[in-house]
Structure 1
Amino acid sequence: MAFLTTFAHDTWVILNESAPYVLLGFFVAALVKTFVPDDFVVRHLGKESWSSVFKASILGVPLPLCSCGVIPAATGLRKQGASRGATTAFLISTPETGADSIAVTWALLDPVMTIMRPLAAFVTASVAGLLANVIPEKKSEAPAFETIFPMAEKPAPHTHDSHDNCSCSDSDAGCGCSSGCGCHSTTEEMKSTPLAKRFKGGMEFAFGEMLSDIGVWLLGGILVAGLIGALIPDGFFTEMLGGEWTSLLVMLVFGVPLYVCATASTPIAASLALKGLSPGAALVFLLAGPATNAATIAVVSRVLGKKAVSIYLGSIAICSLGLGWLTNKIYASLGMDITSWVRETHIDEVTPFSIVCVVVLLALVFRSLRKKHVH
């Protein structure tokens, strides 16, 4: 009975703390979809240069794509003509962080980690992309012109009706979710479409497709966080993984095979931190978990080649460990205790506003599940 009480309490508190920021993150994702056309991304990633790698790393940070939705997007970028390095960088920075996960990081962790997480994603993606560009490209095979997502041979203008009623199947997306397979916008189409209609489309994407893709994973992550709070005693990681590098390596091994999106990984990392996990080890988990899974590795091998897989995994592993170590040093230099870094900012409080946000979030998730079941 004590276990169930603790589990229910921790889950409810985490849900209340994260719900307002999750909704805020989805709203920001809607704004990105509203104002950033798909072909803008393609134009800036199509050159074989270090600048395209940095652009891919930067553009991938706020983009509203989960670890599954980034697969068809990256495949389309590669077929569109993006360099191997830019594609690799995009594959890493996009799932490791995003507008929604950054907002949840602020809610459940602290301001320092909120800054370190996207910065670390950019560095990791850039290193991997620059190394991937070293692999010689086969110039003989020119990539076919396709849209950013590999659904069609050519981008065709959308009428207002088709934009309002666009849909796709999971098979069209090439992955187990619908993210990345909605209507695609070019700069010309965006200029000719009224702002209100574009905003409506962005809201439908963020609170429809995107929420459908990661909503269940987010709730699952919150439930796992509640279980961690109920099962693992305080100070567990400090006692069991006292060595700094030991905790970093354990989180790397734990995160690499785990299939978890950036948003869902955040409450898990917060719960682990409350049990004594250092901020550096938490960052390793936040980087390695979302960026590495069987589906992504398979796509990297098929689209970029087997050598790119080694660069992809090696860069994530080495950069995660190095940045995790650096993060611990930053916290120490700021005079923050790395064994209780979340406790000082963790707000164990439920307010009427947070309850409303929880109800709205759960209603949206269940609505998306109902739509999936109906279709």
Structure 2
Amino acid sequence: MEQLNNAFTLFLSLLVEAIPFLLLGVMLSSILLICIDERWLLAHVPKNPVLGAFTGSCIGFLFPVCECGNVPVARRLIMQGVPLPVAIGFLIAAPTVNPIVIWSTWIAFHDRPEIVVLRVLFSLIIATIVGCIFSVQTDVKAILQPAIALGTIRAEPKLNNSVSLLDGGDFMLGGAGTATKRMTQIPIQQPKRSWRANVNLVIDNIVQELRELGGVLILGSAVAAAIQTLTPRELIVSLGSGPIISIIVMMILAGSISICSTVDSFFALSFAATFTSGSLLAFLVFGPMFDLKSIGLMLSIFKPKAIFYLFAIATQLTFLLTLFVNFHVS
């Protein structure tokens, strides 16, 4: 009974710490649906693969979306004719390299600022490298889903009246049928919305994202509390203290728990006393890039083979960078 009480207390504490950041992130990303002029952005992205991938990795500062919203934005970027390195850089880095996530990470690890800095730095490095690697793919249609490849062909050179990049940020939330319908009927152009339509868009997006992400947050907090209180302490210490096994465990946990990047730092904080710094970074860096939820979303853009290569490269880079931290920084 005491263990259950401790688990419930930890569960509530995680929720209380994380909910404000979830609300702020959802509200800000929803407001950006109507505030960002993506036409200027698309017109100024560099064509150089390295600069393009790095620029795409940094666009998250302008589009602070989590891993639920980065896929629709990346999809729109590709369909508007943005170079593949830019879109992939954004796809991988945006859930981490954005002001909401950086702030929440700082709140959770304010006594360990190196975690905050290295999380952003590693995300930028991995996203830039992966984007550069995929820049050698000359025929993008070979790795894109047919509906997306068709959209790249139909994209106009000029971006006048282009649809908002953040429109349809919740396209997977309505179920598979809704997703398929929207994927096959994506408008390249649309008339300017009225203020009433903009307000409705923001409200609808807030409600849908809270419904989706709130459930994930509750599940993730419950899992974290259960692991901390019900798992034998000796097992946690043995797994968390190993420089290699701790990274593997936290990467598996990050991929399976699918917790939102806006609040995942509070989940990782509950393991800070027993797990290595490198393993905490592995969770914070790898989880927003690839988890079960984001992989499902990526299948709406890329063919399975492309996702496998994205996953394999990002996994190896995350492991090597965080292993370096365990051996040389911790």
TM-score band, normalised by shorter chain? 0.7 to 0.9
Displacement of 1:309 in angstroms is 3.1
**Greater mean deviation of Cα atoms: 224-233 or 36-45:** 36-45
- CA gap of 1:205–1:113, structure 2 versus 1, over 3 A, is farther
Match of 1:122 in 2: 124
Task: Find the aligned partners of 1:299 and 1:27 in 2 and give their Cα distance.
Answer: 21
Match of 1:7 in 2: 7
Match of 2:89 in 1: 89
1:133-181 Cα deviation digits (max 9, x unpaired):
022236998824469xxxxxx7479xxxxxxxxxx95568738xx9xxx
- CA gap of 1:80–1:285, structure 2 versus 1, over 3 A, is same
Map residues 1-375 of structure 1 onto 2, 5 A cutoff. 1-26=1-26, 28-29=28-29, 32-33=32-33, 35-45=35-45, 47=47, 49-60=49-60, 63-96=63-96, 98-110=98-110, 111-137=113-139, 143-145=152-154, 155=162, 174=179, 204=203, 207-234=206-233, 236-274=235-273, 276-293=274-291, 296-297=294-295, 303-304=301-302, 308-328=306-326, 332=330
Q: Percent identity?
A: 22
Task: Find the aligned partners of 1:94 and 1:21 in 2 and give their Cα distance.
Answer: 16
Query: Structure 2: which 5+ residue stretches go unaligned?
Result: 143-148, 165-172, 183-187
Displacement of 1:256 in angstroms is 3.6
Task: Find the aligned partners of 2:40 and 2:72 in 1 and give their Cα distance.
Answer: 17
1:104-145 Cα deviation digits (max 9, x unpaired):
322333333223222222221111001110222369988244
**Greater mean deviation of Cα atoms: 75-84 or 110-119:** 110-119
> Could you tell me whether the CA contact under 8 Å between 2:108 and 2:269 is conserved in 1?
yes
Displacement of 1:4 in angstroms is 1.7
Displacement of 1:6 in angstroms is 0.3
TM-score, length-normalised on structure 1?
0.65
- CA gap of 1:62–1:172, structure 2 versus 1, over 3 A, is farther
Displacement of 1:230 in angstroms is 1.7
Describe the SS at the equivalent of 1:244. coil
Task: Find the aligned partners of 2:210 and 2:253 in 1 and give their Cα distance.
Answer: 26
Task: Find the aligned partners of 2:45 and 2:209 in 1 and give their Cα distance.
Answer: 23
Task: Find the aligned partners of 2:234 and 2:61 in 1 and give their Cα distance.
Answer: 33
Displacement of 1:282 in angstroms is 1.4
Task: Find the aligned partners of 2:233 and 2:258 in 1 and give their Cα distance.
Answer: 26
- CA gap of 1:297–1:9, structure 2 versus 1, over 3 A, is closer
> Could you tell me whether the CA contact under 8 Å between 1:74 and 1:87 is conserved in 2?
yes
- CA gap of 1:11–1:308, structure 2 versus 1, over 3 A, is same
Displacement of 1:295 in angstroms is 6.0
CA RMSD of aligned residues (A): 4.2
> Could you tell me whether the CA contact under 8 Å between 2:95 and 2:101 is conserved in 1?
no
Query: Structure 1: which 5+ residue stretches go unaligned?
Result: 148-153, 158-167, 179-183, 333-375
Task: Find the aligned partners of 1:115 and 1:28 in 2 and give their Cα distance.
Answer: 23
Task: Find the aligned partners of 1:246 and 1:256 in 2 and give their Cα distance.
Answer: 15
